[in-house]
Every structure is written in C-alpha cells, then in structure tokens.
C-alpha cells in the first residue's frame, strides 16, 4: 500500500520525541501524535519539576521556578520536533488498523504513551486531600503535615524535599525496607539518615483506611500504570498482558500482535520493562536503528537509576542479595564519603559506595551508592560495566584530585 510516513509514533514523551528526532536525522518521514504537552510525564509533571523542587531553597521558590523550567525545556522539545521530516499532530493517536493511526499510514508504528500514577482502591482514596504526584506538584501552599503512602523512588524524593521545606512528613510502606531496587544496606542507611532529619517511617504497614490518617495532604506514591486506554489497540491486533502493559520482545517489537503487514513496537513505561525516562529514550533509539538497519550495542541490562533524595542514592546492576540468590561468585568492596577530601570540604560526609565484582578484583557487576552526587558516581561505573571492565582497571584509571569520584578507587 501507499504510506504517507515511514514511521508513526504515538506519544511525544522522552521515548517518542527522541525516536522521532533520531529517525528524522536519518532521513525518515515521521508523524508523531501528542494530545497533551510534548515532553511527556518526565518533563511536565515528573522528573524535571521534582528536581526543580530538590534544587530550590524554599517551597515558594520551587513553585515559582517549576513552571519556568518546564516551559523552557518544553520549548526546546518543540524546536526539535519542528524538523522538516517530522509532522507533529496535536491529538490522541488512535489505531484504525495495524498500519493506520488517525488517518496517517506507515509501515512502522511505535506506541510510546507512557504511564500515569496508580491509586490504591482503599477507603478514603476519593478524598480531596489525597493526591498523586501531579497533584502534589500543583499545590500552592505547603502542607503542615504530609503523609506519603509508598517508599519507592517517588515517595522518598518527595519525603526528602517536603521535610526540608518544613512539612512534618510520615512515610508508610508495606515492605520491610524502602527503595527495593537499591541494595538493602544502602537503602537502610539512607532511611536512617532521613529519620535523623525528622521523617517518620512506618515500615511493614498496610493502609486500610486513609480517612484515619492525620495529615493535611496524603500522597499516593504506589506505582504507575501504563497508558493504553483509548488507543483502540484491538484494531491493530494488539492484546494487553494481564498487568495492562503491551508485551514486547527484546527488540521492543510487540510480541503478541497478529499483524503481518507492519512492524509495531512498544517503548518506555507502556511496555513495563524498565520504567525510566532514559530507558525509554534508548529503547526508542534502538527501535529506529532496527528500522534503519543500523546495528547498535546498547546494553539494556546495564540500566542505571537514581533517587534524588538529600543525599542522593543511585544504583546500577544487581544488589548483593540478588547476587547471593543467583549463586553468583562475587566479592564486595566498600568505601565511605567521610574519608574523601572533597566530601569533607563540601561538608557532605554522609555517604557510602558499594561495588560488587567478580573474584580477585575482576569484572565489575554492580554499584550502589548514597551520598552527594551519587548519580554521577554511578554513571561512571555504568561505563565500566558496559565495557566489561574490571575493578583493577577502574583502580588503574587516573581520577582528578580532589573529587568525589575518588571514592571509587578507595574501595577496600
């Protein structure tokens, strides 16, 4: 059939717009649909606004700066999508069939619709004082008492920020420890530090009725759900997995699609594989590379993540407990910020690095860190892991003095 685009993308979040720009620069004609704001959740109501709060001195300053930062970055995305090979359609993309979306046709279609906050169906959840992360960011008055349900990334970041602003913060978590994706030793140390700063944690606690909670605002930070409603996926032969995600294979091609006339892909949160903005970006680039016939060596199993509490926490690779569970032979090396000259000079002595590697200072397997600029430190280790480097090679790499990154070569 005659196609009017080489690629259709539904959703202009990090995965969608990065894929569109990458494809356009390589000569593909792209149509991208977005019915809200370009940039997706991360830019508009997620990572970027949250980090604006993290780096603001007061709540009032955060509220003022948030929209300025978002609008500036959103404008940058709009500029990128003005490429002559890209058509931005400001409406919701809906499947007509496996190669047609809202009147546009293409042999390749990417679903990149992201996710939205998931609210627990419990008593009191319909109260106006119960909000999701978007609702919390839209507050114009600092809550005196803030209760957060969930000690994952979103819950921990907001707990840290609002306690610093002056709120009395309580975090309620069903699991025995916060941040399950982070090494338990690191997570516990971070939680204890935040407790010393005044945050109350109630671990191993199930919430039955939100109306019983003494708080001005209750943040529901209990995960996210994929955005698939209204896409008419059935018309394209797409069947959702039991958890509501769009199943995709290792190359992000939709796995259970019965279409043979076009290639359909799902990237980012909607496929449920790695719910991180940077994961969506790289998945989109990988899909476009496949369409173009370009071989890349992106290692999606090496996926760093960060939690922007104060101090930060970050990780890449399996935890110590996970390595033990799989019977992997490894050795663990630690170092502490209090012995680092730059950390002392910055008055940021609270922090720890844990590196796991194969025996005899062999191939690096993982890094789990908390402390100032933990995300930057883990990013360095991510490069070593991606290249299958050893701990010995890391030690042999010259590090600028004085820098926080010297904690990596100080592990013992």
Active-site amino acid positions: 401
The pairing of strands 104-105 and 364-371 is unpaired
Residues near 283 by beta carbon (within 8 Å), at least 6 away in sequence: 15, 252, 267, 268, 271, 273, 274, 300
State both tokens at 70.
């978002």
In sequence order, what are the beta bridge partners of 87?
A: 31
The pairing of strands 7-10 and 30-33 is parallel
3-state SS record for the chain: CCCCCCEEEECCCHHHHHHHHHHHHCCCCEEEECCCCCCHHHHHHCHHHHHHHHCCCCHHHHHHHHHHHHHHHHHHHHHHCCCCCEEEECCCCCEEECCEECCEECCEEEECCCEEECCCCCECCCCCCEECHHHHHCCCCCCCEEEEECCCHHHHHHHHHHHHHCCEEEEECCCCCCCCCCCHHHHHHHHHHHHHCCCEEECCCCCCEHHHCCCCEEEECCCEEECCCCCCHHHHCCCCCCCCCCCECCCCEECCCCCCCCEEEECHHHHCCCCCHHHHHHHHHHHHHHHHCCCCCCCCCCCCEEECCCCEEEEECCCHHHHHHCCCCCEEEEEEHHHCHHHHHHCCCCCEEEEEECCCCCEEEEEEEEECCHHHHHHHHHHHHHCCCEHHHHHCCCCCCCCHHHHCCCCC
Cis peptide upstream of residue 312 (ω within 30 degrees of 0): no
C-alpha closest to that of 147 among 218, 225, 228: 218
C-alpha closest to that of 229 among 241, 244, 242: 244
């Amino acid at each position: 059939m005659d196609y009017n685009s080489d690629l259709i993308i539904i959703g202009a979040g990090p995965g969608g717009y990065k894929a569109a720009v990458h494809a356009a620069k390589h000569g593909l004609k792209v149509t991208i649909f977005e019915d809200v704001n370009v940039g997706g959740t991360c830019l508009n109501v997620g990572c970027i606004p949250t980090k604006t709060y993290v780096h603001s001195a007061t709540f009032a300053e955060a509220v003022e700066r948030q929209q300025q930062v978002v609008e500036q970055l959103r404008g940058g995305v709009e500029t990128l999508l003005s490429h002559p090979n890209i058509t931005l359609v400001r409406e919701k993309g809906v499947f007509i069939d496996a190669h047609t979306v809202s009147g546009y046709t293409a042999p390749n279609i990417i679903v990149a619709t992201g996710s939205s906050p998931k609210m627990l169906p419990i008593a009191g959840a319909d109260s106006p004082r119960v909000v999701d992360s978007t609702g919390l960011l839209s507050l114009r008055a600092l809550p005196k008492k803030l209760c957060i349900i969930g000690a994952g990334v979103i819950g921990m970041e907001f707990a840290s920020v609002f306690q610093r602003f002056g709120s009395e913060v309580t975090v309620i978590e069903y699991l025995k420890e916060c941040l399950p994706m982070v090494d338990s030793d690191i997570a516990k140390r971070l939680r204890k530090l935040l407790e010393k700063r005044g945050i109350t944690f109630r671990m191993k606690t199930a919430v039955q009725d939100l109306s019983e909670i003494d708080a001005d605002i209750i943040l529901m930070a209990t995960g996210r759900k994929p955005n698939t409603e209204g896409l008419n996926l059935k018309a394209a032969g797409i069947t959702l997995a039991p958890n509501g995600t769009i199943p995709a294979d290792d190359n992000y091609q939709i796995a259970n699609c019965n279409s043979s006339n076009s290639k359909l892909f799902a990237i980012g949160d909607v496929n449920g594989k790695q719910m991180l903005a940077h994961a969506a970006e790289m998945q989109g680039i990988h899909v476009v590379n496949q369409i173009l016939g370009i071989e890349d060596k992106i290692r999606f199993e090496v996926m760093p993540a960060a939690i922007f509490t104060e101090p930060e926490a970050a990780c890449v690779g399996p935890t110590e407990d996970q390595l033990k569970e799989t019977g992997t032979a490894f050795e663990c090396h630690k170092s502490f910020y209090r012995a680092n000259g730059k950390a002392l000079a910055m008055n940021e002595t609270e922090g720890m690095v844990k590196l796991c590697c194969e025996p005899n200072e062999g191939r690096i397997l993982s890094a789990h860190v908390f402390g100032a600029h933990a995300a930057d430190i883990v990013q360095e280790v991510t490069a070593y892991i991606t290249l299958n480097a050893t701990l010995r090679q890391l030690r042999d790499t010259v590090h600028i003095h004085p820098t926080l990154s010297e904690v990596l070569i100080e592990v013992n």
